[in-house]
Chain A
Amino acid sequence: MNAPFRVIGKSFPRLDARGKVSGKAVYGTDFSMQGMLHGKLVTSPIASGAIVSIDVERAMAMPGVYAVVTAKDIPAKRYGSFVKDMEVFASSRVNFVGQPVAAVVARTAEEAEYAAKAVDIQYKEDAAVFTTEEAAQADAPLVHPEWETYKAVPTVKRRGNVTNEARLVLGDVEKAFKESYRVFTHRFATNVVHPGYTEPRAAIAHWEDGDQLCVWSNTQLPFEAQATLAEIFKLTPSQVRVNVTTIGGGFGGKLRLGVEHYAAAAALKAGRAVKFVSSCEEEMTSALPRQPLVIELTTGVTKDGKILAKAASILVDTGATSGSGVGVASSVMLMLAGPYKIPNLRLESRSVYTNKTPTGSFRAPAGPQGNFAVESQMDIIADALGIDPLEFRLRNIVEEGDLAPNGQKLESVSLKECLLKAADAIGWNERRPAPGRGKGIACSWWTTTSGSSGVYVKVGPDGQVFLNTGCAEIGTAALTGAAQVLAEALGVELSSIQIVSGDTASTPFDFGAQGSRTAFAVGNACLDAVGKLHQRVKEIAAKQFSVKPEEVTIEIGVAKCGDKVLTLKEVAAVAQASQGGLIAHGTFIAPPTLHDKERTENMVITAINSPSFHAHAVDLSVDDETGEVRIHDYVVAQDVGRAINPTYIEGQIEGGVVQGIGQALSEEIVYEKGVVRNPGLTDYKMPTAMDAPNIRSIIIESPSKVGPYGAKGVGEPPVITPPAAIANAIAAAVSARVQTLPITAEKIVKTLSESGLAEK
């Protein structure tokens, strides 16, 4: 396996770097069309109620206004991932503050914004519900009184505000708790955090020939945008063309429709191209932040620190629509069990509507929330048993061939190596090196999302290779990674490859830039294409050499038979002149991950595909008077299967950790009766360069059977573990165990004063 690679494993600069550093790359916010108009949303000021009337007369008379669009202007249609509970514009009721009810289309963005304030909407306010604990009660006000009429996937079990009730059950938890030396129960709660991409969501829509919709946007998933827009506007997918611009960050926040549907509705009514860009306030009040979870976790252990059983009751707050929260409610159970060997499990989760911002799939959906609970509790238990937290983990982690909680057999398990290397690097032998200073460790596993990928690989007569993919580049450089896979296998230089991506009309289908799958899946589709190209190369060369194709061998960039040699470029020239060029359609779909369906009930996500393993260790100080946390050192040991481009893997790790530090310490969208109190970047605190520590990456390569050259998913995992690792280090430093995120300085001081330790 350790063949010397030419391209794989080398830190080449990304292929789109020059355009990005020179200001020439065209992002969604930059894109414009001749004669386009601008749209602005009119949103609900109340959390729950009926729309009594919409008066657009005054707005229509404002300067520059072309149209005001409401639900009446488009087909009455609800859509959604698991439950079809979303509308483009609220038609009869609103269920969160910030919900779009209408949109104004005007000549300039400023005129649209001005006129939007003149749209007069009257509401009749109803009782609202803001916490999952309340919303899950049988007599709670219904966020969607008509929930029973909504279509949903058959797997989900719904009732009132509860959009799914799922379970993962193994063995006999009650019996195991009785046999346990000690049983621990703790409650953990996590925060609403925004993906924080620096480019707001932006789209331009234009209708050609009446029923052909053309959209340019910074979506992560052009094919899903195409399908959803077709569903909304009652078109076939082929009537919708989605082109992806350069994307200014996504992190899952641009998976679902952002503003494409508003632009499409507005363009339909105005008869002109219309551009929408989310304002910062709209981002903070009506984008798709991470679901906050409440997790009650009970764990039974033996005296020598073996976990016998875990039970959990989980509430996932999806906000006003279920979105991907139904998926989070399933995948969080895989996170809560693991990555440990536990013979008895009873995990129960519910996804629940509240009258707040609809949530979405922020990087590693369910990962940080579940991991914060499991890994915080691991340290609490270790301390209670008098066992070192690293040792306690090592006694319970999964190893090669073990079964995951869903019964799937685990392969290429590198968790022990991750933990030991992270612990060694942070200097674990000194867990409390000085007063107020402590070290924390935490570990996790994560899935590499499946889904199909197609690429066209075309070799030109000048030897240039086009990699044409339906997958968008969201910034991770994963498509440069896929191109490195292609260059390696095809026998060309990386600099020969040009990427064409993200146009639903001209690129083959791809499940898209999500779930840490881009380099993994697009890379594999490239390998398939190379196999097909090499076969064609052999056939073409054989004809030129007057031999049989099987007599031709392929070496790096050349076809050979005896002393006869043709370069790839020469073969491509022959192919272009005689048979329409040298091109192949490569495809990939990950094999299904086999698991025990008896263990899962109503789960919409049931497996951990090509799992990756990771451990984080942190060394920090806490000021016990101010609660300020200062991170001295942060180490990540992450198994990536095969490091295709080490620099950008480090980039994923460093960026993910800092994003995780934000969730751990400072970020939270704060609600008061459904109203966001901090709808701007002044009060929503993302880490700056002053807050981010230097991060040391230890890249571990334990190859997967499925990924290209053994690669596993890389992008999401780094954001999972920081909250738990940091919580554990804070507890080690000053004995303050904070069980809710974010762990603000205020909470640390409060916890210290409650425990009496800070009293003089």
Chain B
Amino acid sequence: MTEVPLDLNVNGRRYRLSVPAHATLLDVLRDELEQTGTKTNCLEAECGVCTVVLDGKSVASCTVLAAQCNGRSVTTIEGLAEGQNLHPLQEAFVEMGAVQCGYCIPGMIMTAKAFLDENPRPTRDAVREAIAGTLCRCTGYSKIVDAIMVASQRLSQQGERP
């Protein structure tokens, strides 16, 4: 099995790894680094539960080759909270009842994170479009959209503070 070197920054920590050439970013996160907050399901970029933020953009980590990520930075759900303080998106998901089984939630939150970073005050329709690549079977999406809207307000207010 051909291995390739991988220099990867995950949630602010630098890892120097040697991984199979065909390993995906998801394989590296879950199997090599044993960080299972990023979820696995369809492995064909249809369900979105494996979404992480790669250099500021949300990607389905199941279809990104790890070797493509050499020298790049990844943020996963484990990297959002600061110590015991949840990120405003995580807080809003808890408060708004947006979490049921929770399996899609890491992917949803990371999708929302990258989206809000680029679109700080979106409309509800824009949020729906942004998360359309991540399937949720429990919630019917409304409360997830609610949570992202609430988080966007709070994040914008934080940003406006001097």
Contact = CB atoms under 8 A, between A and B. Distances in A.
B99 A21 contact: yes
B44 interface: yes
Contacts of A14: 97, 99
Contact of A21 (B86, B129, B135, B137): B86
A692 interface: yes
B137 A249 contact: yes
Contacts of B101: 197-199, 247-250, 474-475
A474 B102 CA distance: 10
Nearest to B23: A110
A476 B100 contact: yes
A656 B137 CA distance: 9
A280 B42 contact: yes
B135 A27 contact: no
Contacts of A196: 135, 137
B137 A659 contact: yes
Contact of A246 (B35, B102, B127): B102
A25 B102 contact: yes
A124 interface: no
B140 interface: yes
A328 to B, nearest CB: 21
A193 to B, nearest CB: 11
Interface string A687-720: 0111010110000000000000000000000000
Contact of A18 (B94, B106, B136): B94
A681 interface: yes
Interface stretch (A85-93, A391-399, A564-572, A645-653): A645-653
A692 B99 contact: no
B46 A682 contact: yes
B37 A23 contact: yes
B86 A22 contact: yes
Interface size band for B: 35 or more
Interface centre among A246, A247, A657, A688 (most CB of B within 10 A): A688
B44 to A, nearest CB: 6
Contacts of B77: 21-23
Main secondary structure of the interface of A (DSSP, over half): loop
B39 A21 contact: no
B90 interface: yes
Given A27-B39, A681-B47, A655 B78 contact: no
Interface string B138-157: 11111111000000000000
B121 interface: no
Given A21-B99, A22-B77, A689 B39 contact: no
A249 B99 contact: no
B38 interface: yes
Chain B interface main SS type: loop
A580 B100 CA distance: 36
A13 interface: yes
Contacts of A22: 37, 77-78, 80-81, 86, 90
Contacts of B136: 198, 655, 689
A658 B140 contact: yes
B39 A651 contact: no
Given A280-B43, A681-B47, A198 B103 contact: yes
Contact of B137 (A26, A251, A682): A251
Nearest to A31: B36
Given A18-B86, A198-B103, A476-B100, A689 B76 contact: no
Contacts of B100: 249, 475-477, 648, 651, 655
A21 B99 CA distance: 8
A220 to B, nearest CB: 11
A178 interface: no
A463 to B, nearest CB: 22
B140 A654 contact: yes
Contacts of A656: 140
Given A686-B135, A688-B133, A13 B97 contact: yes
A692 B97 contact: no
A26 B103 CA distance: 10
Interface string B17-47: 0000000000000100011111111111011
B141 A692 contact: yes
B90 A21 contact: yes
A682 B128 contact: no
Nearest to B124: A694
18 contacts: A13-B95, A17-B94, A20-B105, A21-B77, A21-B86, A21-B90, A197-B101, A198-B47, A249-B100, A249-B103, A280-B42, A651-B140, A654-B143, A656-B140, A657-B140, A659-B137, A681-B46, A695-B140
Interface of B: 30, 34-44, 46-47, 49, 76-78, 80-81, 86, 90, 93-97, 99-106, 109, 127-129, 131-145
